[in-house]
Amino acid sequence: MKTISKAFALTALALSVAACSNIERSRNLANPRVSGSTLAQQVCASCHGGAVGQDNGTSINPSYPNLAGQQAVYLETELQEFHDHSRTDPAAKDMMWGLASQLTTAQMKQLAEFYAQQKPHPNLNQNDPALVASGQKIFSEGRAAQGVPACATCHGPSAEGNGPIPRLAGQHADYLYKQLMVFNTDAGRETHSEALERPHGVAMDAISHNLSDLEKHQVAAYLQSLR
Amino acid sequence: MTRGKHALLFMAGALSLAYLPTSHAVPLYARQTGQACVSCHLGGMYPQLTTYGRFFKLTGYTLGNRPNLNDLEVQKDAPPVSIWLQGAKQFYTNVPNGSGAAPTSSLNVQAVSLFAGGKITDNIGAFLQWTGANAGGGFNSAIDNSELRYADHLVKPDSDLIYGFYINNHPTVSDVWNSTANWSGNFMGFFNGGTAPVQTPFLDNYAPGDAMGAGAYLYKNNTWYGEVGAYKSVTHGPTTTYFTAGDSGATLIDPSPYYRLAYTKDIGPHSFEIGLHGMISYAHNPTAASGGVSDWGGTVNTFRDTGIDGQYQYNLAPHYFSAHVRYLHENASYAADQVGSTVSNASNILNETYLDVSYVYRAKYGAMLVYRAASGSNDATLYSTNTASGSPDWKSWTPEIFWTPWQNVRLGYQYIFYTQMAGETGTIPGQTLSPHDFNTSMLYASFIY
C-alpha cells in the first residue's frame, strides 16, 4: 500500500515537473520557437534515421527517403510543397502534410540545412548486379531512342544533385521507383503539366513516362548502389 | 422512433460518410499529427503499431500540435476526442453450458467507445477510452484502456534514450508491440463470447479498471526496452464506482509487480522484437460475509505469470505483414482456505500459447489468423466443465478477412473454431457438448472518427 502510494506520488511529481518542458527536446510541431535541428532529432528521426546505428537522415525502412547530404534547396522546396499541400502523392499526404502543415519558413530552412549537412552513408539494401549494370547505362547515357536524356546531365555525374535537383546517390531503390511512378501518374490530369502530384518535378514527367517499368527498376537499383 | 426520424438519421449518416476525408485526419491522434492511420498502424490495422507508432506512444503521445481549445475556429482545430462504433451480426452454434442461456444470434451495435487524450504538454499525453459494450444481452459502459504518460527523449551524438512514467488502469495497456494480451489480435472481439469455458492466465484476464498501476520505462538506442510497474486495485473512495474488480474476481490489495524486457531491431522494412514479460498478482479473496457484507481483505492467491513474446513486421507499401507470438507460463498457488472450496489443488500451472499472422494489401484488403491455446494441470473444482478429468486444456483458431474501404471504416468476417475444450476433442464428459459446439462467427462493421 505504502509502496504504491509512493509510486503514485513520484509519478505525480514527475508530471508536475513536466510542466516546465524543455524547448530543446520538444516534439511540438506548431511552436515556431522549436528549432529545426530539434525537430529533426525529436520528430523526423523516428522515420528518417536518428543518431544511433545510422547517422541523422539515413533511414532504415525504405518507405522513408534518406535525407543525409540532400540538397538544401530541394529539401526546402519539398517541405514547402508538403506545407502548402501542393505535393499530392499518397505517401506525401499520409505522412508529411500534417507534420509540415504548421512549420514556419524559418523552421523549414533550418531543417533543410540540417539534413544537407549530414554525412550520407552507403545504402545497405541488397542490389541485383544485373539491374545495377543496366541502370548505370541509363543513368550515364540515357535512352535517346525513347527520348530519355542521361540522368547524370541534371543530377550530376555522381548523382549528387544540384540546388533544386535532388541528390539520388544511395537513395532507397524502392523509394526511387515509387517516385518515378508518382511522376508517371496521369490520374485526374488532362494535360501532363496540370496537377502533377509533384509540381516541381515537372521535368521528370516525360522521362518517367518514357521509361519502361523494368528500366525504372534498373535505374533505381543503380542509384541505390552509388556511394 | 418514427419512420421519418429513421430516414433522417440514415441520411445524416450517409452524408457524414460521403464527406469523410479520404486521406489525413481521422481520430484524435491523426488530427494531432495530421497523419493518416497507416503512419502509426501497420497497414492501417489498428491496434498494431508500426515502428513510428511505437515511438509516438513511447514519447507519451506528445508528437504534433495541441489543439487550441480556447479558439477552435481560428486554429481550425478539433477537440481531442474520437468516437468508435462497432456493429455486428454474430452467429452462434453453441448451446447452454450448465448454467446460463444460449446466446442468441443477433444484429446489434456491439460497442461504442469514446476516446480523449493526446498531447497535453510537450512531455505529457494521454490515451483515455470509455466503452459502452453490448455483452451478454445488456449494454454496460465503463472505463476502458486508459493511461497517462510523462516521457522525454534524450538525443546525443552517440546515444538515444526515451524514458517515461505512466499511470494506467490495467497491466499491458502500456504494450507497444501488440504481443501481450491487451493489444494482440484484431481488437474486434465477439461481443458475446457465449459460454465457452476457455482458461487463460491471470495476467490476460485483467479488465480495464481491475487495477490501477504506476510504472517507469526506458528505451535505449532503439534497441533495448525495460519496464517495471506495480498494480493495485482501487478499494476505497468515490472512484471505486469506476475502478472496481472485474473479470479477475479478486482484488489486488498488495502491490503486484509487472515487468517487461525487450530487444528490438529494424532492418530495412523488417522489424523484430523479442522479449520477456510477467507479473506476480497477489489476488485477495473476499472475507467471509459479516452482517451480510463481504469485503476483499481475505486470504491471498498468488499468480506468477512469466512470458516470452515476439513480433515480426514487414512494413513497405503495398505489402504489410506481421506475426506475433506469446508463451505465458503461470504458476498459481492458492490460500489454504480455498483448497477444497474454490480449487482442488494447492497449486496449478497453466501455459498459454498465442500466435497470429496478418497481411494487408494496399492498407485495404486483409486477412488474419489467430491460434490460441492453453494447457495445464487438472483441477476438478476449478475446471469443473469436464467432470471426469477437470482438464483446462483448449485450442482455438480464428481466421478473419477484412476490407478497409476508407481508413476509418473496416468491414470484416471472423470465425472462431475450437478443436479442443476441457481437454477433449470430442464430447466432454459430464456435458452433452463437443468443442465445435462453441464455434462462433461474426460479420462486423467498424467506424471510427
- ipTM for the complex? 0.90
pLDDT of residue A77: 97
Interchain CB contacts (distance < 8 Å): A and B: 148
* Distance (Å, whole) CA B339 – CA B145: 34
- From first to last of its 449 residues, chain B has per-residue pLDDT tens of 333 444 433 333 333 333 333 333 337 888 888 899 999 999 998 899 999 999 999 999 999 987 665 544 444 566 788 888 888 887 776 555 444 455 566 677 778 889 988 999 999 999 999 888 776 556 778 888 999 999 999 998 889 999 999 999 999 999 999 999 899 877 777 666 666 788 999 999 888 878 889 999 999 999 999 999 999 987 665 555 445 444 345 688 889 999 999 999 999 999 999 999 999 999 988 776 666 555 667 889 999 999 999 999 999 999 999 999 999 999 999 999 999 999 999 999 999 999 999 999 999 999 999 999 999 999 999 999 999 999 999 999 999 999 999 988 999 999 999 999 999 999 999 988 889 888 888 899 999 88
The model's pLDDT over B154-182, given as tens digits with 9 standing for 90+, comes to 998 889 999 999 999 999 999 999 999 89
Higher pLDDT, A31 or B313: B313
- Residues of chain B neighbouring A98 (CB-CB closer than 8 A): 24-25, 30, 33-35, 64
* Distance (Å, whole) CA B438 – CA B420: 10
Closest Cβ–Cβ partner in A53, A61, A99 for B35: A99
Say if residue A166's pLDDT is above 80. Answer: yes
pLDDT of residue A194: 54
Partners of B343 in beta bridges: B339
> What residues contact residue B11 under an 8 Å CB cut-off, 6+ apart?
none
Sign of CA dihedral A110, A112, A116, A122: positive
Report the SS3 class of residue A180. helix
Contact A60 B267 (CB under 8 A): yes
- Residues of chain A neighbouring B123 (CB-CB closer than 8 A): 18, 21
Amino acid at B48: Q
Angle of the A129-141 helix axis to the A213-225 helix axis, nearest 10:
100
What are the cell numbers at B37?
Answer: 492511420
Instruction: Break chain A into its structural domains and give their ranges.
Output: 32-116, 129-225
Closest CA to B279 of B330, B234, B238, B240: B330
Instruction: Give the residue from B41, B65, B281 with the most A CB atoms within 10 Å of its CB, the best one to mutate.
Output: B65
What are the cell numbers at B381?
Answer: 473444482
What are the cell numbers at B269?
Answer: 522494412
- Residues of chain A neighbouring B230 (CB-CB closer than 8 A): 3-4, 7
Residue A190 Cα to chain centre, angstroms: 28
- Residues of chain B neighbouring A54 (CB-CB closer than 8 A): none
* Distance (Å, whole) CA A44 – CA A103: 13
Q: What are phi and psi of A93, to 5 degrees?
A: -65, -50
What are the cell numbers at B143?
Answer: 472505463
Report the SS3 class of residue A119. coil
* Distance (Å, whole) CA B238 – CA B242: 8
Enumerate the H helices of B264-359 as residue ranges: none
Neighbours of B202 (CB within 10 A): 23
Task: Give the pTM.
Answer: 0.90
Task: Select the CATH number that applies to the domain covering A129-225 from these four: 1.10.760.10, 3.40.470.10, 2.40.50.100, 3.40.50.300.
Answer: 1.10.760.10
CB proximity under 8 Å: A 78-117 to B: 90-91, 93-95, 97-99, 101-102
pLDDT of residue B376: 97
Would an 8 Å CB–CB cutoff place A18 in contact with chain B? Answer: yes
Closest CA to A44 of A84, A85, A78, A89: A78
CB proximity under 8 Å: A 127-186 to B: 174, 178
- Residues of chain A neighbouring B255 (CB-CB closer than 8 A): 1, 3-4, 7
Write down all domains in chain B, each with its CATH number in brackets: 3-448 (2.40.160)
Contact B122 A1 (CB under 8 A): no
Would you say the CATH fold of A129-225 matches that of A32-116?
yes
Query: B373 with B420: CB under 8 angstroms?
Result: yes
Contact B269 A21 (CB under 8 A): no
Closest CA to B266 of A61, A162, A165: A61
- Place domain A32-116 in its CATH homologous superfamily: Cytochrome c-like domain (1.10.760.10)
